Amino acid sequence: MSRTVLFVGAHNRREIEFYIRIAEHLSRKGIRAVFTSQYNRHAVELSQERGIDVISIPRWIELHWHEIPSPLDAVKAAETKYNLVSFRQVYNGDRELFECSEDECIDRALRYFEAWEAIFDASSVDAVVSAIGGELIRTTSYFAARRRGIKTLYLNFFPLPHRFVIVRTLDGDFLNLDLASLPDLSPTQEMEVQRLLDQLISEAPRFFSWHPPAIKAEYLHKFFSRWYFALFTDRYAYPSRWVFRKTRYILRRIFNYILSQGLYERPQPGERFLFFPLHDAEDFQLRVRAPHCQNQEFVVQLIAESLPIGFKLYTKEHPNFLGGININVLRRIKRIPNVRLLPPYVSALNMISAAEAIITVNSTVGFEALVRGKPVITLGPSFYRGKGITFDVDNFYDLPRVIKQAIGSRPDEGLVRKFLYYAVQKTYSGDYTLRDFSEDNIRQVAQAILEEMDRV
């Protein structure tokens, strides 16, 4: 019996092209593909150049435009229909909507739901495949598919060399492992883990690298492309007022970054400290998976007040979010008596090595600390939390006690090695991040999707 996979593209054209390559492999297994995109321009180009039909969701909305007489009633109906705790969970993770009014967010979300319902009515879809993320096109497709019992498969980064995970929900556990119920490692498996550990420690993670902000050709191309979209091809998907807001936002980040240079302090030799890396405040990981930690100024203040006497808290901005934190917030963080705000170029790995413990919401810094034998305190859900290898805080009231327990300890080495071994078994070989279009990588990602489709 033939099956159909619907691919959801939320970013650039390369994302759809990557899915088209995957679909070519799946077609050999009798699986049909339907492609959807956030941008009409991509859909038109691929249709003209390659004869591939790509459904532009915003274009569908424009063609079926109608007034929504009572948005509030429609929201209540949608919350019931899609089993939503709050309608806000549909759009809260979309960066493009952060500065939009609530009325605009609601209107767009309702129309996206209408589009997905029509598409699912027209095509018998067995699985929806997309990258993980909080974009409206992804979240609405997820809730609409879930209502119909359609499988949802989300490709997600995992910090092991050339591996990724496929998760079924947008906010679920990336790595559902009960280490206590899994067999201990054999000598051969221990050797495999040791080779992996050696590789992880010897190779600096790519997401830890820092480069001074610079104007790049790709940034200029993206900027002018958005203006082109807004003025000509995708007026609904990317209105011109959004481009103005985005321009203002970029200028504000540049302004914050320039002014922040005078706030940084270098680490002090001999100082005992805990390390808390600031997160990308707009990232899906924080806004959707750990909203209770979204106010990072409050979190830093809370940690600092929970430290034992004689300890400092070192913190630094996320290398991909420089300038994203308001300069006034950084000033207030710097003024906290026992906090040092480090320059962005200071190596996170060096801080991990020198720290007494690492505190994180759900950053990959926590994972890198674990493989290096450092105690990790988690404040939010992550793929390494709850496995017996971290100190997990469920109530901020307990933070001083947990910090005191963590200082001077080490994670159970045997459990960390066991975690790494079974993490490899739970993940897939391949890279879905649009950097590798080789035939071998495409085949690996396609095979992973096929296996997840067949999994009960």
The alpha-carbon radius of gyration of the chain (Å, integer) is 23
**CATH topology match: 3-174+427-454 vs 179-209+264-426:** yes
Q: Report whether pLDDT(70) > 80.
A: yes
Asked if residues 54 and 34 have their Cβ atoms less than 8 Å apart, the reply is no
> Are 128 and 152 in contact, with CB atoms under 8 Å apart?
yes
Please, where are the H alpha helices in 123-239? 136-147, 187-202, 217-228
Which among 326, 318, 430 has a CA at the least distance from the CA of 363? 318
**Across 425-438, average pLDDT:** 92
Question: What local confidence, expressed as pLDDT, does residue 29 receive?
Answer: 93
**pLDDT value of residue 209:** 62
Tokens describing residue 231: 């003025």
Name the 3-class secondary structure at 56.
strand
Across-strand partners of 413? none
CB 415 within 8 A of CB 148: no
Q: Domain boundaries in the chain?
A: 3-174+427-454, 179-209+264-426, 211-263
Q: What pLDDT digit, counting tens, does each position of 105-132 carry?
A: 999 999 999 999 999 999 899 999 999 9
Mean pLDDT, range 79-105, rounded to an integer: 94
Q: What pLDDT is recorded for position 138?
A: 95
Name the residue with higher pLDDT: 131 or 240.
131
**Rounded Cα distance, 61 and 59, in Å:** 5
Distances (CA, A) of 353 to 94, 182, 274, 370, 371: 35, 30, 11, 11, 11
Question: What's the pLDDT tens digit per position in 131-156?
Answer: 998 999 999 999 999 999 999 999 99
Confidence of residue 283 (pLDDT cuts 50, 70, 90): confident
**Band of pLDDT at residue 456, cut at 50, 70 and 90:** low
Residue 419 confidence (pLDDT) above 90: yes
- pTM recorded for the entire structure: 0.92
Residue 291: band (very low, low, confident or very high) from pLDDT cuts 50, 70, 90: confident
Domain 179-209+264-426 has CATH 3.40.50: yes
| pLDDT number for residue 357 | 98
User: Alpha-carbon distance 317 to 155, whole Å?
Assistant: 26
Cα four-point dihedral sign 274, 279, 281, 284: negative
Q: In this predicted structure, which of 67-81, 314-328, 399-413 has the lowest mean pLDDT?
A: 314-328
Question: Residue range 58-78: average pLDDT?
Answer: 95
- Return the CATH number of the domain spanning residue range 3-174+427-454: 3.40.50
pLDDT at 206: 62
Give the number of other Cβ atoms within 10 Å of residue 407's Cβ.
Answer: 17
Q: For residue range 201-219, what is the model confidence (pLDDT) as tens digits?
A: 988 776 666 666 666 666 6
Mean pLDDT of all residues in the chain? 92
Residue 411 in this model has a pLDDT that exceeds 90: yes
**What are the tens digits of pLDDT across the range 245-269?**
888 888 898 899 999 999 999 999 9
Q: What confidence tens digit (pLDDT) does each residue in 304-345 have? A: 999 999 999 999 998 888 888 999 999 999 999 999 999 998
- What local confidence, expressed as pLDDT, does residue 23 receive? 96
pLDDT of the residue at 43:
87
Stretch 403-417: mean pLDDT: 96
Which pLDDT score is estimated for 210? 61
